């Protein structure tokens, strides 16, 4: 029942998020200065080929002269029927374009996690076992540095130092698996440093707890006590921290994908904003919001699986 309640709660969050994000995007696009029809026409034909006649034709075709309150109810109904409309620039169905872009973003996020998890966990465990040692000081310095360093600056440094300096990897674009390494490393660096500190703190908390003393009293060696009892104490705060970092992955995707020209949701969102392509903006923003809900759902499910106490009914339930 707990799993079903969790799923229903996340589904309600997704529905409210979808309606809120779509409405907010429409309001923001209508509030921006400038002629929206002119922007859309420029996205279709190029800025050097746009005149007032082209803008008027686009305005009449798309009904951009209608008020917000005439447009909004129809968009809500389309959203509930899973119809995200068509791009104002390309004319292609938004849902079809999002399927391709979402795959690229999930690929990037998965690669970033695959890099960050082993590095952050190993460094964090090492720092927790040897507090004040070289690894502990190194992870603290990296965590502070990467926390204050903007992701775009780290991306530029990697571009110049690795791609341009050595020529070992492509600078940008999607030219095969090698193109994924630099953007994934940009996202993974901050995650790994923060994960190392969270792991270190969780392990230190276990090593001064009664559970550690009892495990050692039973005759277990340090490695046995850590393996059988310590890792569970480390996993739960790590999972909770990863749930919070879903925001970092979603926000970072916009910056990193744009800098590395990676064909994902964030890259598409930036181009849609410049072209005032409202259906694409709503679709990409909605997709990124749902990614956040999905990531938190997976984190909650993993936490329930790792902690038997969260699966057991509370006292008084079912009475």
Instruction: Find the range with the poorest average confidence among 18-32, 173-187, 248-262.
Output: 18-32
Contact call for residues 220 and 228 (beta carbons, < 8 A): yes
pLDDT surpasses 50 at 301: yes
pLDDT average, residue stretch 26-46:
72
The count of other CB atoms within 10 Å of the CB of residue 303 is 19
pLDDT surpasses 50 at 210: yes
Contact call for residues 41 and 53 (beta carbons, < 8 A): no
pLDDT value, residue 310: 57
pTM attached to this predicted model: 0.74
The Cα–Cα gap between 276 and 36 comes to 6
pLDDT value, residue 319: 40
Using DSSP's 3-state secondary structure scheme, residue 86 falls into strand
Percentage of residues in the chain with pLDDT exceeding 90?
A: 0
The Cα–Cα gap between 135 and 248 comes to 25
pLDDT average, residue stretch 149-163:
84
pLDDT surpasses 70 at 309: no
The Cα–Cα gap between 167 and 303 comes to 42
pLDDT value, residue 315: 46
pLDDT surpasses 80 at 22: no
pLDDT average, residue stretch 299-315:
63
pLDDT average, residue stretch 23-36:
72
Per-residue model confidence as pLDDT tens digits over 83-109: 777 887 787 888 888 888 888 888 888
Q: How far is CA 37 from CA 43, 142, 172, 193, in A?
A: 10, 47, 31, 46
The pLDDT-based confidence of 290 (bands split at 50, 70, 90) is confident
Q: Select the highest-mean-pLDDT range: 26-30, 171-175, 267-271.
A: 267-271
The Cα–Cα gap between 22 and 59 comes to 21
Contact call for residues 179 and 173 (beta carbons, < 8 A): yes
The pLDDT-based confidence of 316 (bands split at 50, 70, 90) is very low
The pLDDT-based confidence of 318 (bands split at 50, 70, 90) is very low
Q: Select the highest-mean-pLDDT range: 5-9, 117-121, 225-229.
A: 117-121
194 vs 222, which has greater pLDDT?
194
pLDDT average, residue stretch 195-206:
86
pLDDT value, residue 288: 79
pLDDT average, residue stretch 69-73:
74
Contacts 24+ apart (CB under 8 A), 249-254: 249/109, 249/112, 249/113, 249/187, 249/191, 249/291, 249/295, 250/288, 250/289, 250/291, 250/292, 252/151, 252/186, 252/187, 252/190, 253/105, 253/108, 253/109, 253/187, 253/288, 254/288
pLDDT value, residue 6: 66
Residue-by-residue DSSP string for 206-245: HHTSHHHHHHHHTT--HHHHIIIIIHHHHHHHHHHHHHHT
pLDDT surpasses 70 at 307: no
The overall average pLDDT reported for the chain is: 78
CB neighbour list of residue 193: distance below 8 Å, 6 or more residues apart: 120, 139, 142, 143, 145, 146, 147
The Cα–Cα gap between 263 and 102 comes to 9
Structure tokens at 119: 């590095």
Instruction: Find the range with the poorest average confidence among 3-17, 98-112, 161-175.
Output: 3-17
The Cα–Cα gap between 81 and 74 comes to 11
The pLDDT-based confidence of 28 (bands split at 50, 70, 90) is confident
Contact call for residues 286 and 21 (beta carbons, < 8 A): yes
């Amino acid at each position: 029942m707990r799993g079903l309640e969790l799923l229903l709660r996340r589904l309600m969050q997704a529905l409210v998020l979808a309606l809120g994000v779509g409405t907010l995007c429409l309001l923001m696009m209508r509030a921006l200065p400038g002629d929206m029809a002119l922007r859309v026409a420029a996205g279709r034909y190029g800025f050097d080929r746009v005149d007032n006649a082209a803008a008027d034709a686009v305005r009449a075709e798309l009904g951009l002269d209608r008020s917000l309150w005439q447009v909004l109810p129809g968009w809500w109904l389309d959203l509930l029927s899973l119809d995200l409309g068509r791009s104002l620039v390309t004319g292609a169905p938004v849902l079809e374009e999002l399927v391709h872009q979402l795959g690229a973003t999930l690929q990037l996020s998965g690669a970033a996690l695959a890099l960050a998890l082993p590095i952050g966990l190993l460094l964090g465990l090492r720092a927790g076992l040897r507090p004040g040692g070289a690894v502990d000081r190194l992870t603290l310095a990296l965590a502070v540095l990467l926390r204050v360093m903007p992701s775009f600056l780290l991306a530029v440094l990697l571009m110049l130092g690795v791609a341009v300096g050595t020529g070992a990897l492509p600078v940008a674009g999607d030219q095969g698996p090698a193109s994924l390494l630099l953007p994934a490393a940009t996202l993974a660096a901050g995650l790994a440093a923060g994960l190392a500190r969270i792991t270190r703190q969780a392990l230190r908390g276990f090593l001064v707890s009664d559970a550690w003393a009892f495990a050692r009293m039973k005759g277990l060696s340090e490695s046995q006590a850590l393996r059988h009892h310590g890792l569970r104490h480390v996993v739960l705060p790590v999972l909770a921290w990863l749930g919070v970092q879903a925001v970092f992955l979603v926000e970072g995707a916009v910056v990193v994908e744009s800098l590395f020209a990676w064909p994902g949701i964030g890259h598409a969102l930036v181009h849609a904003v410049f072209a005032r392509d409202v259906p694409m903006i709503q679709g990409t923003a909605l997709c990124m919001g749902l990614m956040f809900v999905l990531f938190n759902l997976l984190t909650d499910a993993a936490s329930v699986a790792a902690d038997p106490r969260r699966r057991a009914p509370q006292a008084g339930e079912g009475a």
